[in-house]
Every structure is written in structure tokens, then in C-alpha cells.
Amino acid sequence: MKLSENNKELIAVNETDLIDGAFIIPEGVITAKKENFNNTPTLTQLTFPKGANLERHAFLQSENLTRLIFGNETKIISHAFYNCTGLEQVTFGQNVEILMQGFDNCTNLTQATFNKGAILWQGVFKNCSNLTQVVLGEGAQLHRDAFIDCNTLQAIIINTSNDLEIERVKNSLSAEYSVKVIQNPIYGRVKSIQKDSYQEAFNPIGLSQLIYSSHALKKLPFLLLASTIGYEENVHQHFSEATENLSIPTSLEDLPAYQKEFKRLIPKPHQESAAQWKRLECVDKMQCYYDHLKKLVNAKQCKFPLFFSENNHHSLKIEAKLNAIDKVIEWLKGNTDSNFNQEEITLLYGEKVIASKLNESSIVLPQEDSAAMVLR
């Protein structure tokens, strides 16, 4: 690392100065810019000291940066971090000032956290299309249009319990963004509601029973794993899409309605999980019955070889029944989408044990004529 003679300006940084892709600019340094890091291709995180003053276009299009940390009393001139498209998170100390469009077009930025006394000028976060959360301390001064085209912004969280402070911030913003201002304690309640709802959806009774069934695990380890992962992905997608359309409540009075709406979202994944669990459980039972019949047939073949001769009517019927059961098992596992012909349906329907297992799990077998039939 090289500094100016008065130690107030950063001159150059080398790759060996980094620790896991991060560099901390020494205390006392006031200015730094993109050119200082030309020899640091793995740089992803920068920490600026107290009193840093960053010039216009100082880190223009620094696409490798993913996180920035700023000390107290930092001043960021217009367009200092314009088009830093890799940037994901920024954290600021107290009394920070950011001039017009300081972080314009940082399209991957998701979170910005400020301490007390932040001053944000017009368009500071313009075109930050993935920005979802901004945290501010007390005394923040915001231009009416500090946020422009931040279409995914869900909450502007104020670390205060002072209602007057909340109203002051709301009144300083345009109508589009003032409705997103929320006290930190209330936002904590919101996140708790979301967390509890996710846990309830991810912990269905049927699936958890199957997970802890050692018998089922021995039979279907890969099937269980695949179905569980698929279920979690389904629930995650379901909630992500649903929550995008839910407005985060900004008052205690709105929390019950928000919680009720989240609860309403749970039944669909739960129902899908219950059906999935029944299907897996039915596979396990069917496989056990198939193995049992196969052992009986093998024993009888040894004892009565003529009865199980190749062209014997009873032998052919038993073999057809075993094949039909095996086909059901493979279909339930998802290994085949074949329909069942009338002969197979008749054989399975005539087997009371098989019929009862399918009925218990509410399994409907698809027929070749596409007329579904529930075995009773």
C-alpha cells in the first residue's frame, strides 16, 4: 500500500494488501478512488475511515465491489459509485452525507443501512432496481426524491420509537415511498410473522413423520430426498411470489390483518405436502406387499413347479398381478407416466389389499381412456 506524503490520500493498493478480498483504508485517509485499486482484481469489499470525502466518479463502474462500509462523517459526491452493478450491501456510520445520485444504477444493491444523522440528496438510490430495505437512524434528512425507480423497495425502517420522527420522515418523502416508512420495532414483528409462517409451511405433519420413519428411509432414501427438496423449492417460490404483492404494515393496528393474510397462504403448500406424503407412504406399503407376494410365489414355485408352469392360467394371472403392482409403484415414484389398461385396473381392483392401500392414500390411477378411477 502506498499513501501520499501527508497520509491523507491513498495512492496505490496491491493484491497482497487484501484479506479475503477485503481492504480497510487506514484512518486519516480522506480521498480514495478506483485507480488506486488497479492491481487488486479480487477486491470485493472496501471499508472507508471516518471523514472520507469521495469525489465525483471516484469508483465509477467498479463492478467487482459487493460491499462497502463507511465510517462517520463521510461525504460522497454525486455519481461517486455510479453503475457499480455488483454492489449488494452498503453500511454507513453517523452523520453521512450523500449528494445527488451517489449510488445511481447500482442494480444489484439490496440493502442500505445508516446510523444517525444521514443526509440523502435527490436520486441517491436512483435506478437501484433490487433495493428492498433501507435502515435509517434518527435525525435523517431525506430529499423528497431520494428514491427514484426503486421498484422493489419494501421498507424504509427507522430506528426510533418516536412517532413524531416517523411522521417527519414520511412527510419528507413522496407519497410512493412515504407509505413504506416503518418503525424498527414494528418491522421486527413483521419479520417474526413471516418467519413463523415459513416455518409452519416448511414443517408439514406428514412429511416430518416420513422423515423420521427409519423404515421408509431404508426403502426410499433418494425419493424422499428429492421430494423434500422439491417441496421446499415449491414453498419458497409460493411465498416469494405471494409476499411481493403484500404491503408491509407500518402500524401496530395493521399487523393482525397482515398475519391473517400470511396464514391464508399456508394451506396450499400444506395440502400439496400432505398429498405428497401419502403418495410416498403408499409406495412404501405397496413395495412391502409386492416383496411379500414375490416371496410367496417363489416358495410355491419350488413346491409346486407344475402349477407355475409357463402356460398355466393361474401362473400367468399371478405374474400379471405382480407386474401391475410394480407398475403402480413406479408410477407413484414418478418413474413413468404410463396409463393403466382395463385388465390391470381389474386385477388391482380385485386385490383387496392393494385397493385398500390406494384408497387410504386417495390415489387415483389414470386409465388408458383418460377416465380416472378411484379404487375403493
User: What pLDDT is stored for residue 219 in this prediction?
Assistant: 41
Same domain, 174 and 196: no
Same domain, 134 and 208: no
Domain boundary among 179, 214, 239: 179
Better pLDDT: 331 or 208: 331
CATH number at residue 164: 3.80.10
pLDDT band at 159 (very low <50, low <70, confident <90, very high): very high
- Whether the predicted model's global pTM rises above the 0.75 cut: no
Query: Does residue 120 sit within a domain?
Result: yes
Domain boundary among 216, 249, 268: 268
pLDDT band at 85 (very low <50, low <70, confident <90, very high): very high
Query: Does residue 332 sit within a domain?
Result: yes
Same domain, 169 and 197: no
pLDDT band at 267 (very low <50, low <70, confident <90, very high): low
Is the predicted pLDDT of residue 112 greater than 70, yes or no? yes
Same domain, 169 and 94: yes
Stretch 265-270: mean pLDDT: 57
Lowest mean pLDDT among 172-186, 194-208, 238-252, 257-271: 194-208
Stretch 40-67: mean pLDDT: 95
Better pLDDT: 207 or 249: 249
Query: For the chain, what is the domain count?
Result: 3
Domain boundary among 245, 268, 291: 268
Is the predicted pLDDT of residue 268 greater than 60, yes or no? no
pLDDT band at 276 (very low <50, low <70, confident <90, very high): low
Is the predicted pLDDT of residue 78 greater than 50, yes or no? yes
Query: Does residue 274 sit within a domain?
Result: no
Same domain, 95 and 152: yes
At 305-317, the pLDDT tens digits run 666 666 666 677 7
Query: Does residue 291 sit within a domain?
Result: no
Residue 264's domain comprises: 190-268
User: What pLDDT is stored for residue 190 in this prediction?
Assistant: 84
Q: Write out the chain in H/E/C secondary structure.
A: CEECCCCCEEEECEHHHCECCEEECCCCCCECCHHHHCECCCCCEEEECCCCEECCCCCCCCCCCCEEEECCCCEECCCCCCCCCCCCEEEECCCCEECCCCCCCCCCCCEEECCCCCEECCCCCCCCCCCCEEEECCCCEECCCCCCCCCCCCEEEECCCCHHHHHHHHHHCCHHHHCCEEEHHHHHHHHHHHHHHHHHHHCCHHHHHHHCCHHHHHHCHHHHHHHHHHHHHHHHHHHHHHHCCCCCCCCHHHHHHHHHHHHHCCHHHHHHHHHHHHHHHHHHHHHHHHHHHHHHHHHHHHHCCCCCCCCCHHHHHHHHHHHHHHHHHHHHHCCCCCCECHHHHHHHHHCHHHHHHHHHCCCEECECCCCCEECC
Same domain, 98 and 166: yes
